[in-house]
Amino acid sequence: MRRLALIALAAFLPTPVAFAQDQPRPRAPELAPVILRPLPTQTINLGLGVSATIEIARRFSTIQIADPTVLDVVAETDRSATLVPKAAGITSLNILDENGAPISRLLVEVNEIGPSRIIIHNKALLTSHTAYRCSDSRCEYVNEVTATEPYPLPRGHENTKSDSTNRDLTPRQ
């Protein structure tokens, strides 16, 4: 009786490892390659407060904006549009013809200062700076950022201000 119980128990045990290795394993489905579409055909850099007009060689009927909080587009004609920056960021534009076929794809980057900006760290605090926007012939003052929190000056520098908010915290030797 005991032998019969062992044989019955053996029937419910998992199959031996050697038997499992003899069986072909089911193949996992291969992953399909991913192709990023649409790839932008051109990149445009804009600054806040500075619009730009684009001209397209073919007639368009639709311009899709991926992030309308960054950029607005005003159609001037069926071949030109004005890009109006709204906030700093990056967005893409898809320009489509009357059949919905893509004509062009643009990547638009909007900066707070704009293209050709120069930032000069000319203050005692590294987080403070003066910004300029430059062209081929001249530079234009944009803004100046002064840190509100006092930071310790590098060793060897002395503080020239006497108010209590800007103290030289550099240890003396």
Supply the CATH number for residue 95's domain.
2.60.40.1380
**H or E segment at 81?**
strand 80-85
Average pLDDT over residues 157-167: 57
Q: What is the dihedral of CA 162, 164, 170, 171, to 10 degrees?
A: 100
Dump pLDDT digits (tens) for 64-102.
999 999 999 999 999 999 999 999 899 999 999 999 998
Q: What is the spatial distance between Cα 117 and Cα 66, in angstroms, rounded to a whole number?
A: 26
pLDDT of residue 137: 82
Mention every residue, 6+ apart, whose C-beta is less than 8 A from residue 139: 118, 132, 133
Instruction: Please indicate, yes or no, whether residues 68 and 106 belong to a single structural domain of this protein.
Output: yes
Dump pLDDT digits (tens) for 18-59.
555 566 777 777 888 877 666 677 889 888 888 899 999 999
Instruction: Please indicate, yes or no, whether residues 47 and 106 belong to a single structural domain of this protein.
Output: yes
pLDDT of residue 68: 94
Q: What is the spatial distance between Cα 171 and Cα 5, in angstroms, rounded to a whole number?
A: 85
pLDDT of residue 115: 59
Q: Looking at the 3D structure of the chain, how many domains does it have?
A: 2
Instruction: Please indicate, yes or no, whether residues 88 and 107 belong to a single structural domain of this protein.
Output: yes
Q: What is the residue range of 89's domain?
A: 42-111
| CB 46, CB 73: distance < 8 Å | no
Instruction: Please indicate, yes or no, whether residues 59 and 103 belong to a single structural domain of this protein.
Output: yes
Dump pLDDT digits (tens) for 96-148.
999 999 899 999 998 876 557 777 887 777 778 888 877 778 888 878 887 76
pLDDT of residue 171: 59
1 falls within a domain: no
Whole-Å CA distances, 152 to 43, 95, 127, 147, 169: 40, 51, 12, 12, 5
153 falls within a domain: yes
The token duo for 17 is: 């490892």
